[in-house]
Structure 1
Amino acid sequence: MSSTFVCTIQGAAIFFLAFGIGMWVIHFMAFFWSKWKLHRKRSWPADIPLPGVSIIKPLVGEDPHLASNLETFFTLNYPKFEILFCVQDNNDPAINIVDKLMDKYPTVDARLFKGGEKVGINPKINNMQPAYISMKHELILISDSGIRMKEDTLLDMVCHMDDKTGLVHQMPFTCDRQGFPAILEKVYFGTSHARIYLAADLVGINCPTGMSALMRKKLLDEVGGIKAFGCFLAEDYFFAKSITDRGWKITISSQPAWQNSGYCDIQSFQSRISRWAKLRFAMVPPTILAEPFSECMVLGICVAFATRVLLRWDPIVVFLIHLLTWCIMDWFLLRSVQNGNIPFTKFEFVLAWLFREASAPFLFIHSLMFPNIHWRQGYYRLQWGGRVEEIAPKVKL
């Protein structure tokens, strides 16, 4: 065996061991930040009036939980806000739900915009554009249809908007729901996703998702409004990038975003995770190299190999200890994010956790092999840097 080959093997082992140590540091960072940041109430200075907030709700279609989710916005405990609902199709079934809620809460400032305006490729931006140009207040909250709010959620988000902050976002999580797919979603958003999201927020890395984000409207107006981001599918990432590029901070609020979609199945969940991976690969290409090694199973194999080469440890024992410790750490992180009782047993957690971790490498490979995106009614081809072009779907004969 040549000395060059031995040096290469040892170099790879050192890299994998260092990467593994780095991921464990991220574990502890995320857990610490969850304890420090989440579920801690903030107060607004009594001598300063609260700013007005325009809430833009883009809607597409009906959902079994849509009415109850939207109603939580009508009951917000906040002195000055408006709700701007947006639908692209004049026959969208969500219109009837919105009309009933506006009749039920006539004192709430709420309006409905139909038809959208074609300002780019991104259908969400097109849907929201008429509401954006009609909004009254200085802060804008873009909130997806599947989000459920507590009475003090908007106040909590505004309280994080200090003089140096341009964007406050909520860390994605899920409401308690029944069934294995719902358990799988909660485990993913409370462990793997939460770990990276919290660690990124701690060190100041751009990580917001667009499901619930509060922004200063003037910062969007300075670059041409939301229509300037119509050439991207991941408009949330580029909102945040535009804001941080000009020296403003971004931060998460203390309350997670409670996703409460009425439709929950494994295929839709994995398609969603795959779509996010494709967007990351296009926007931040280095993630293609780093992301697979951040997953528990792949990293465990790499660390087992590294300790075998460098320390002569039994790789099977190392891999199993790595797996067990990672699972335990994820359980404690999930409990911290939930801030209450987990709505399923430890056995159900382990099953969902193993399923998620074992399927992650396959989703990564699938995302690389099939980079085009099917989202809502459109098909899109991503370009390096995050720009996107719309493509026609293949017609089956």
Structure 2
Amino acid sequence: MIAALIVLTLLGLHWISALLVIRRFDRPAADLPAGPLPRISLIRPVCGLDTHDPETFATSFDQIYPDWELVFCVARADDPAIPVLRRLIAAHPQVEARLMIGDHPITRNPKLNNLWQGWNAAEGEFVVLSDCNVLLPPDYLHQVLAAWQADTGLVSAPPVGVRAKGLWGAVEAAFLNGNQARLQLAADELGFGFAQGKTLMWRKADLDDAGGLALLGQDLAEDVAATKVVRGMGLQVRLTQDPFAQPIGQRRLGQVWGRQLRWSRVRRAGFPALFLLEPLNGPLIPLVLTLGFAPSALAPLLFAFAWYLPEGLLARQAGWRFAPIDLLAAMLRDVMMPVLWLFTFAGRGFDWRGTPMAPTQGGAIPMQVPAE
């Protein structure tokens, strides 16, 4: 029966993706390359001050890497994060750290405009662009460098949600962990790694030779553009073996919806063919088909058990929380996904921290590189 075959195929692919990532977490940590370690510039763009930011900022200073520098980039001189950053820099004189303030309109992407000054000032052979809301472990730079191989053009890593509070915080974590991190890490296991903007490590000369930081403004999001740039070089995007934690805290439905709709529109603009297949990533279609050929009261319960079991096993292996509220959150996430997919077609742009973002014809964002 065709319906049963489709159900088994989609359920099987769901299990395979989870098992690939479970196997990944079973492996020992990757080793650093032999020989002298290269200098690394760690650059963190900052915009505003959220609840967990003082803690995530502080983890920047704990790196055990032998040769590195730390650069914070802030666009506006009145940003409320600046006093916090200055206190942290003063409290860690042993770290080669600096704060750069200014905005340079090289693209319509405000994050790239903020990073421009730090990128140009970076002294490292490698540059790690790390979002300010991620908790960096002391061996963060070791981990990103260990993922670099001979055919690598970029090292990236997905975030995983931690410290979620309330139901909608758990839903946000369910999107990040059981869905996005699972798919991204599974793709990397199969050799099809793609970038996520929370962590991007480049060999600086590679991106400069290809066209520089402004090249990443050709799509709505720099990670989409980065994936295309690296593949255009004939190189691979590699992921760190483990993802890195992002504190979630309390969330409201509107916040979760807005963030997920923004990312959905980024995916639609960046990879339209793959976006059309996204309804297959979720239980709705196989559940409807199951009810069609097995109209029993037990059918949805058995199907839900078969669908959410691998996510629970993955969470246990990875050390992610998967309490009853997280199971409910995963179900709410899976109800939201097809609705989000449909709403994505209602518009092409979004607002990011007060900046309207929209693709132009062909998906590119116009660039204007300022004169030196």
TM-score, length-scaled by structure 1:
0.85
1:355 match = 332
1:72 match = 59
Q: What displacement does 1:384 show?
A: 6.0
SS of the equivalent of 2:307 reads helix
Q: Does 1:43 align with 2:26?
A: no
2:211 match = 224
More moved, 349-358 vs 78-87: 349-358
1:102 match = 89
In the aligned structure 1, how far is the partner of 2:361 from the partner of 2:8? 31
**Would the aligned equivalents of 1:219 and 1:243 in 2 still touch at CA under 8 Å?**
no
2:306 match = 325
Compared with structure 1, are the counterparts of its residues 30 and 164 closer, same or farther at alpha carbon in structure 2 (3 Å cutoff)? same
Q: What displacement does 1:317 show?
A: 4.8
CA RMSD of aligned residues (A): 2.3
In the aligned structure 1, how far is the partner of 2:4 from the partner of 2:362? 31
Matches within 5 A, 1:157-168: 157-168=144-155
Amino acid at match of 1:337: A
In the aligned structure 2, how far is the partner of 1:207 from the partner of 1:385? 21
In the aligned structure 2, how far is the partner of 1:291 from the partner of 1:33? 20
Q: Does 1:365 align with 2:342?
A: yes
Matches within 5 A, 1:83-122: 83-122=70-109
2:138 match = 151
**Would the aligned equivalents of 2:194 and 2:238 in 1 still touch at CA under 8 Å?**
no
Q: What displacement does 1:29 show?
A: 2.8
Compared with structure 1, are the counterparts of its residues 263 and 348 closer, same or farther at alpha carbon in structure 2 (3 Å cutoff)? closer
In the aligned structure 1, how far is the partner of 2:150 from the partner of 2:280? 38
Deviations 1:189-225 (A, max 9, x none): 2212233212221223253210112221122111111
Q: Does 1:33 align with 2:20?
A: yes
**Would the aligned equivalents of 1:279 and 1:386 in 2 still touch at CA under 8 Å?**
no
Amino acid at match of 2:333: R
Deviations 1:29-77 (A, max 9, x none): 32232233237322225x5011111111111011121111111110111
Q: Does 1:334 align with 2:308?
A: no
SS of the equivalent of 1:195 reads helix
Q: What displacement does 1:106 show?
A: 1.0
Q: What displacement does 1:315 show?
A: 6.6
Compared with structure 1, are the counterparts of its residues 384 and 319 closer, same or farther at alpha carbon in structure 2 (3 Å cutoff)? farther
Gaps of 5+ in 2: 368-372
Larger Rg: 1
2:185 match = 198
Matches within 5 A, 1:1-397: 14=2, 19-38=6-25, 40-45=28-33, 47-261=34-248, 264-305=251-292, 308=293, 313-314=294-295, 317-338=298-319, 342=321, 345=323, 347-383=324-360, 385-388=362-365
Q: What displacement does 1:147 show?
A: 0.5
In the aligned structure 1, how far is the partner of 2:288 from the partner of 2:360? 32
Gaps of 5+ in 1: 1-12, 391-397
In the aligned structure 2, how far is the partner of 1:71 from the partner of 1:89? 21
In the aligned structure 1, how far is the partner of 2:190 from the partner of 2:296? 33
Q: What displacement does 1:332 show?
A: 1.2
Amino acid at match of 1:377: G
In the aligned structure 1, how far is the partner of 2:363 from the partner of 2:4? 32
Deviations 1:87-107 (A, max 9, x none): 111110111111001100012
In the aligned structure 1, how far is the partner of 2:193 from the partner of 2:225? 9
**Would the aligned equivalents of 1:190 and 1:337 in 2 still touch at CA under 8 Å?**
no
Deviations 1:267-300 (A, max 9, x none): 2122111111111111222234311232212332
SS of the equivalent of 1:369 reads coil
